[in-house]
Amino acid sequence: MSASDSNQTEAAGWAGSRAEVRPHAFDPWEQPELFRGVLTRRFFAFLIDLLVLSVPVVLVSLFIAVFGLVTLGLGWVLFAFVAPASVIWAIVYYGMTLGGPRSATVGMRVMDLEMRTWYGEPSYFLLGATHAVVYWISVSMLTPLVLLVGLFNGRRRLLHDIILGTVVINTSVRTAISPQPRQSW
């Protein structure tokens, strides 16, 4: 095995394909400033995102209420679609914002955070949408106490981050340290 092969380990995957195993891009021991204050900022970013998500839902609900009055109650049937539409709206919001060029929701941008894969690449739509779904499932099934997982690891990753292979870091610190994450060639 040559020296370049020791940096890249290949493992046999499903159907005989070969996948590259990459190292973690962000080390909490070498770059602790990337993770400083992340959990507190994530909490406030979550509150901002809840506000962003709820404003359109409240406006649509008000519209349906007024529409129901005008149509003598017939329009209130549309209330049955508010809950499913709210779920779809949340999944699209997280998918588009986390999968966008900044890899951050509106709340995360305000709090100077971004989500990356464990190997340093930006997020993408499916990962962002899945991140939201896995978060809500983990908090619903395991109680909000599951969020305490972030206190016991150096990268301040929550359970859903660990499951999906993501990490949330300080944006300004990452760009100051290196504009691009480490490449594993």
pLDDT at 148 over 60: yes
pLDDT at 184 over 70: no
116 lies in some domain: yes
17 lies in some domain: no
32 lies in some domain: yes
Q: How far apart are CA 103 and CA 96, in angstroms?
A: 9
Q: Model-level pTM?
A: 0.81
Residue bearing tokens 């990490």: 167
Q: How far apart are CA 174 and CA 98, in angstroms?
A: 17
Distances (CA, A) of 39 to 17, 121, 146: 37, 21, 13
Q: How far apart are CA 90 and CA 46, in angstroms?
A: 12
164 lies in some domain: yes
Residues 155, 159, 164, CA angle at the centre, nearest 5°? 85
Q: How far apart are CA 99 and CA 128, in angstroms?
A: 6
Q: Total domain count for the chain?
A: 1
14 lies in some domain: no
The stretches of the chain forming alpha helices (DSSP H) are 3-7, 38-70, 82-98, 106-110, 125-142, 159-164, 171-177
pLDDT value, residue 27? 81
7 lies in some domain: no
Residues 137, 138, 143, CA angle at the centre, nearest 5°? 110
pLDDT value, residue 13? 45
Tokens of 40: 């507190």
Summarised one tens digit per residue, pLDDT across range 25-51 is 788 888 888 899 999 999 999 999 999
22 lies in some domain: no
Summarised one tens digit per residue, pLDDT across range 52-81 is 999 999 999 999 999 999 999 999 999 999
Range of the domain at 157: 27-177
11 lies in some domain: no
User: Mean pLDDT for the chain?
Assistant: 86
